[in-house]
Amino acid sequence: MKRYSMFAVAREAARYHSGWGRAWRSPAPKTKYDVVIVGAGGHGLATAYYLGKNFGITNVAIIEKGWLGGGNTGRNTTIIRSNYLQDPSAALYEKARSLYEGLSQDLNYNVMFSPRGLMMLAQTEHELRGYQRTVHANRLQGIDTDMISPAEVKRLCPIMNIEGPRYPVLGALYQARGGTARHDAVAWGYARACSDMGMDIIQNCEVTAVRQSNGRVRGIETTLGRIDCDKLGVVVAGHSGVVAEMAGFRLPLESVALQALVSEPIKPCIDVVVMANTVHGYLSQSDKGELVIGGGTDGYINYAQRGSFQHIEETVRALVETFPMISRLKMLRQWAGIVDVTGDRSPILSKTPLEGCYFNCGWGTGGFKAIPGSGWGFAELMATGASPLTAAFGMDRFREGRFIDESVAAGVAH
């Protein structure tokens, strides 16, 4: 792999960029791998990367039915934070946030991590008390968050109307080291590093069956033929239930569409991420000047990856009171991803009833922010059979009633 640097850019500029090679290989699949990861999104690629980096497991294939990063990784709003209430959640998301800070250097690929700060607006007395509780929990967890006043909110985001007649801003839960990253770059950076370790990234290869015998996984059937493996990791977001059915069991989750939109590009006007959970909306500005706008999930189970006029109306109507300026903007584009939501709004990183088969799913609206931590913990689980980061997120918690209730922290699309 050619290392990226200012000197490499200058050298290639002098020869009209004729020396750049492909960022990752696209080989034909082998008949057998030690590990097969189904799903070449951020979580699947991160899992493969940390299998190689942390455990030396490089005979790995990452299988993707479409194109790399073309699922939820390319259909999200890129928010990164770790200010969750429950201890297991906070540990997992803080691991991810801390890894994001050094990810560009680790991968030798600019993921455009921007720790611009993130605030969650308290617009009711109940919400204010809830965020004050979260601040105390975060301090015990070693996570740096603060409650800030309405005046401080206005200072950080001058375009905001904090005196809205229905939902005035009473304060905000602020994480100064939260922010955003470039979703495509995260996937591409991990893919490049995986390919450099000798792993095979196989695109346009759909899984049609999970092969098993005597209660153990033996491999998969795909549109490109049969692939044998010793261990199988499934990281396919909204299609997790479909692949689980192939493996012979059911998952306690449902899939819904999560929509978002961006405005036309404008001059810089907001350099912090703002979430307004009371009205189900959030806002940030991309490096290209677009306002990235999102809200809640659709109210019914579906696999649609397109937007709707209803969502535009609901989300923008909710935000116009707090951000009056957006009423004058035009929408540039709109999209949707398919998110898999569990009953307690927390993910599943777990062994399954099929020996050698592991599932990473149920991230709901919080998948992108967790990518490095998810990959780190899931790789450890697959390599060693256990991980402190994933111990609380097993499938058996639903049978035993050990819920990790993050419905407040993760119940809105962020």
Q: What is the pLDDT of residues 151-198, one digit of tens each?
A: 999 999 999 999 988 889 999 999 999 999 999 999 999 999 999 999
pTM of the predicted model, to two decimals?
A: 0.94
| Nearest residue to 312 via CA among 341, 333, 328, 288 | 333
Written as six digits, the tokens of 245 are: 């059915």
Task: Find out whether 268 and 237 touch, Cβ atoms under 8 Å.
Answer: no
Burial of 164 (0-12, 13-18, 19+ CB in 10 A): middle
DSSP labels, 139-193: HHHT---EEE-HHHHHHH-TT--TT-SSS---EEEEETT-EE--HHHHHHHHHHH
pLDDT score recorded for residue 126: 93
Measured in whole angstroms, how far is the alpha carbon of residue 251 from the centre of its chain?
A: 20
pLDDT score recorded for residue 134: 95
Name the average pLDDT for the chain. 93
Torsion of Cα atoms, 388 then 391 then 393 then 395, to 10°: 150
For residues 43-50, average pLDDT: 98
Domains and CATH numbers, the chain: 6-88+182-252+344-410 (3.50.50.60), 118-179+255-342 (3.30.9.10)
Task: Find out whether 319 and 279 touch, Cβ atoms under 8 Å.
Answer: yes
pLDDT score recorded for residue 340: 92
